Amino acid sequence: MSKKNTKKISSLRGMRDILPKHYVYWDKIHGVVEKLAQSFGYKRIELPIIESTNLFERTVGQGTDIVEKEMYTFYTKSKERVTLRPEFTASIARAFIENGMRRWPKPVKLFSIGPLFRYERPQQGRYRQHHQINFEALGGADPILDAQVILLAYFIIKKSGVKNIKLLINSIGCPVCRRPYLRSLVSFLKSNSRALCLDCKKRLKKNPLRVLDCKEEKCQPIINGAPQLINSLCEQCHPHFKQLLEYLDELNLEYMIDPALVRGLDYYTKTVFEFISSGEQSRNKYSFGGGGRYDELVKTLGGPITPAIGFGIGLDRLALELEKNDQKKAPKKPAGAFNSRELKNIVFLVQLGDLGKKRSLFLFHELVKSNIQVSESFQKGSIKSQLKSANSAKAKLALIIGQKEALDQTAIIRNMEVGSQETIPQHKLISQIKKIFRKK
């Protein structure tokens, strides 16, 4: 046999095998994700790994690093130009249109777990074939949905075992408020162009907002001195961001407003956010994931106007963090998995009025934190429609929080099976719910 035929074949650079001893952590994260998806009302969807290249060029943006440098693109035998998917959101938007999801009850909540492919420099926790946890909610414009999506991402990271994380948040507005802002940004960057890195000089011509996403040290003083879009938000984007921050305050979720956070993809509008390791000095040195709103994306692909928000979390990086924490023993069952009894004991949150909605979001947080299976319909206003949703969810209990209950710090517990109800203090809710379910 020739030396050529006996030469050792190794995996490609940036690709790797995930061995059983590592998959212990992946199993744990999968269990956490599946449980939280159930609580927050998300259904799993599988998407093709290969898509038309045009899909990503039209949505992610021609001036982005992903499209210009990182995509695995090739021609099929039929001369069709295709790409290994570099991200999930564009594929979700395509699936939303192609499968008639505009007719589904809103918001349409979907999640995926799978591999993505980007040709970039491999580093610890980041590979050319990497795996992502992805959640998308399409068809909701209320900032309470933004807060709930951020809460979901927070829970996934925390319940997987990561201890120290920080939430960065910003609003990058919409096309209305971005146009005048971009003029002032371009003017500022041109006056400082000599101090910018080579990539940023190119971005200045193609996509100036991307300069704010640069990680080069020499560009940081320029970025820190640049005009801030958050000070130029229009009459729609400003109250949306203000309400979102109020919801996060209600949830007691600590955050830091980062005016330089833009996420680097063309389809983002309004809310953008990111979770990073709180022990790191550099903003993106160790990011677990993030996301934001993309209210124009579905329309860009020929679908109806569909406000939407989503996020992605790096599964490789999350698993690596757990391994660092030396969690070596596999749980007896996938961590976070429901047993049959838990699946039957569903609590449905019914909210009325602005104060009721805000307080219900806080109680949603507390119920999930206490491992109580909970569902909601924050996008609906009337109590009749929400109780109808509670029946559809086969909820055993409904918690009703109106303006009065929010002010009195009480809640109405309604037994959906017999129609009886009682009012109790909110601080006793968790123990009372567990007591009721133990009797069943």
Portions of the chain given CATH number 3.40.50.800: 340-439
pLDDT at 281: 46
* Whole-angstrom distance, CA of residue 18 vs CA of residue 16: 6
Kindly report the CATH class assigned to 20-174+234-324.
alpha beta
Tokens of 28: 């744990």
Residue ranges with strand state E in 95-205: 108-117, 129-138, 165-171
- Which string of DSSP letters, residue by residue, matches 374-404? EEE-TT---HHHHHHHHHHTT-SEEEEE-HH
pLDDT at 202: 85
pLDDT at 114: 95
pLDDT at 381: 72
Instruction: Specify which residues 135 forms β-bridges with.
Output: 111, 311
pLDDT at 102: 94
pLDDT at 285: 58
Please report, as a single letter, which amino acid is at residue 334.
P
Q: How many other C-beta atoms lie within 10 A of the C-beta of residue 72?
A: 15
Positions in the chain whose pLDDT score sits under 70:
1-5, 62-63, 124, 264, 279-285, 326-344, 440
Q: At what angle do helices 237-250 and 353-369 cross, to 10 degrees?
A: 50
State the maximum Cα–Cα separation within the chain, in Å, rounded to a whole number: 84
- Give the model confidence (pLDDT) of 104-141 as tens digits: 999 999 999 999 999 888 776 778 999 999 999 999 99
Q: What is each CA distance from 209 to 64, 202, 336, 365, in whole angstroms?
A: 10, 12, 40, 34
Portions of the chain given CATH number 3.30.930.10: 20-174+234-324
Tokens of 277: 């390791």
Q: How many other C-beta atoms lie within 10 A of the C-beta of residue 275?
A: 24
**Do residues 256 and 275 make contact, with C-beta atoms less than 8 angstroms apart?**
no
* Bridging pattern class, strands 308-314 and 287-293: antiparallel
Superfamily of 340-439 according to CATH: Anticodon-binding domain (3.40.50.800)
> What is the strand order of the sheet 269-277 is part of?
43-44, 108-117, 129-138, 308-314, 287-293, 269-277, 165-171, 256-257
pLDDT at 440: 60
